[in-house]
Structure 1
Amino acid sequence: MASPVRRRALCFGAAALGAAALAPVGLVRAQSLGDRPLRIILPLSAGSGADGAIRAISNSLAKALGQPVVIENLPGAGGITGTTQIVRAPKDGSVIGVVSNNHVVNPSVYKNIPFDSLADITPITIIGATPFVLVAHPSVPAKNVQELIAYAKSKPGVLNYGSSGNGTILHLGAAMFVDQAKLAIQHIPYKGMGPLMNDVLGGQVQLAVVAVAPAAAHIKSGALRAMGVTTSTRVASLPGVPTIAEQGLPAYELDGWIAPVGPAGLPKTELARLYNAFKAAMEMPEARDALIAQGYEIKLTPPDAAAAFFRSEAARMAQVVKNANVKLD
C-alpha cells in the first residue's frame, strides 16, 4: 500500500484544489507574459519518457497559457546540468523546468551538487506517474517474485541485473528489490534505456526494472517474463501481473513521476498562473489521451501537495540509497 504521505501528495483532492492562493483558471490567459514564450528546460535527453510526455502536452499547455511554449533539452550528469539552469532562471515565470525521480535521488548519490534540490526550487505540480515492472529473461526458471528469490538464493552468483545507469531510478528500483529480498546479485549499468533493453532481451543480463509501456509488448510476446509491477496496485495494461508488494515484499513501491518546477522565490501569482495552466491543459482530451497512451496515470497535484511530495520522496530515496549501498563509480 502507498504510504499516507505519498497518497496525499499524489491525490487530486477536492479540498486541496480549493486552496485560496490559486487563481481561477480563467485568469491564466490574462496573467500571461504576452507573446513571450514559456521556456521549459528538461534536464533529460530527447526521447526520454519525460521528454515525450511534456512534448505531447505542450500544444495544450500553450493554449492554456495563451503564449508559445519552447522546450529545451539540457541533459548531463544525471540531470544536474539542466537543473542548474532551472534554479538560476529568472523568478518571473518565463523559465521553468520539468524534473523526474532523479531530482530527489541525486543528493544521495552525488557528492557535490551546485544547488539544494528542495530549497532552490518551487514545485508547481506533479503531473502524473508511470509504473515500472521487474522483468526477467525467459532463461531464468522463475515465474514470480517468490520463485525468483528462491532461485537467486539457491544459485549465488548466477544472476545479474542491469539498469539504465548508475544512480538512475531504474537502478534504485532493482537495488531496492535486491535489498528487500536480501539477495546478492551483481549490478551491470548501461548508458541508457535502449542498450539495457537490448541486452535484457538478448539474455546478457537476466533481470531489470523497466517502464511498463516499452516492456509490455515484449512481455506479451514471451520475450520477457514479468515478475511483478512496482506500484502499490496492479497495472491496467498488465492485469495478470501481481505487484511486488503482494508477493512478499510489502514495503516495495516505486513509479516514475514527472513534475514541473520553477526556481526558488517564484511569485505566488506566477505559481498560481502556471499551475492553473497545467491543470487546464490536462483537462483537454488531447493532452490526457497522449499521456495515458504513453503509460502515465494522471495525478495532478496542487503546489503545496507537490512540495510535500518532494520532501517525502527525497527522504525515502535517501534511505533506499543507504540501504542498498548505491554508489556511483
Structure 2
Amino acid sequence: MNNSFVDGTATRASARPVTAAPTDEPVVLELSAVKRHFGTGDRRVQAVDGVDLSIRRGEVVALLGPNGAGKTTTLDMLLGLTEPSSGTVRVLGTTPQRATSSGSIGAVLQTGGLLGDLTVGETVRLIASLHGADALDRVDDVMARADLEHLARRRVSKCSGGEQQRVKFALAMVSDPDILVLDEPTAGMDVTARRHFWDVMRADADAGRTIVFATHYLEEAEQFARRTVVMHRGTVVADAPTALLRASLGERTVSATVDEDAGALVALLSAADGVAGVRLDGDRLSLRTADSDAAARILLDNGAHDLEIAAPTLETAFTALTEN
C-alpha cells in the first residue's frame, strides 16, 4: 500500500509520500534505498524494504508502525548495530559505527541490560568515564535532567522498569550527542516521569539536538513530534509534518442527539455527498465527513441538538495507513 498526502487529502496512489518541508539545516541522518532481510529461503524475512529517509539537524521525528513494521531494525541500522543488506546509511556524513564510537549519536533502546549490582550513580559515572573528562563533568547535570538524583545510591536491580529507562536515558546523554535515537523510551514510566522526559526532549530539540523516536504511544507522537514517519511491512507509507498527517484524511466526526424517529434523517445523511459511516446509537447519531459544516447544517435544520464535531486524530491516520 502506498499513500500520498497532497493538499491535506489522503489518496491511494503510486506517488511518493509528501515529506516534511525542507529547511536550511544540514541533513544528519540519511538512509538511501536501504533493505534488510533476515534468514534465507523459506525462512527469509524482509524486515526493511527500500527505505529512503533524510532527517535534518534539530528535527523531532516519530517513527510509527505496527509490530513487525521494521522500526527497530531501522533504528539498529542508524546505530550501526546491524548492517543493511543493501543501500547506504550515513550519520553526520560518516558511518553509523564511527558516529556511535565518537559519542555523536546516543540511544535509549528496549533491549540491552544494565549491571544490576551497581548503583545508579556508579552506572552513570562508569559510562561517562569511557567518554573522557568532559563527560564526567556532565554527570551531575545528566542525573538531574533524567530525574535520578534521589536514586543515585539505589542498586539498578532495585529500580523499576521506568526508572531503568531513565538510567538508560542518562547513559545516552553523557557524551552530549548531536543525535538521540529512542526506541520506546518511556515504556514503563508513569505519567509524571513521561511528562518530565518529554519536557527535557523538547528543550534539547529547541537547542538543536536531533531526536528520532519509535513509540507505541500515539499521543506522544502527536504532542512531541514535529514530523511523523509511518512504516508498514518494511516500507515508509507516510512521511509528513505531524499536524498535516493528522489532518490529511480530511474527515471529521460529527455527532448529535436526534429525535427517536430519525430514519428519514439517517437516509438523508447517508445519501449526502462526502458522508460516510452514518450510525444511530439510541438517540445519538454520528457520521464522518470532510465537510462538517454541511453535515452540521443538515442535522440542525432537522431538529438535532447537542452537536459535536471532532477533528481527526493521529490514531485515525495511523489506522487508515496500516489497516491493510
Under a length normalisation based on structure 1, what TM-score does the superposition of the two structures give?
0.25
More strand by share: 2
More helix by share: 1
Higher relative contact order (CA 8 A, sep 6+): 1
Name the larger-Rg structure: 2
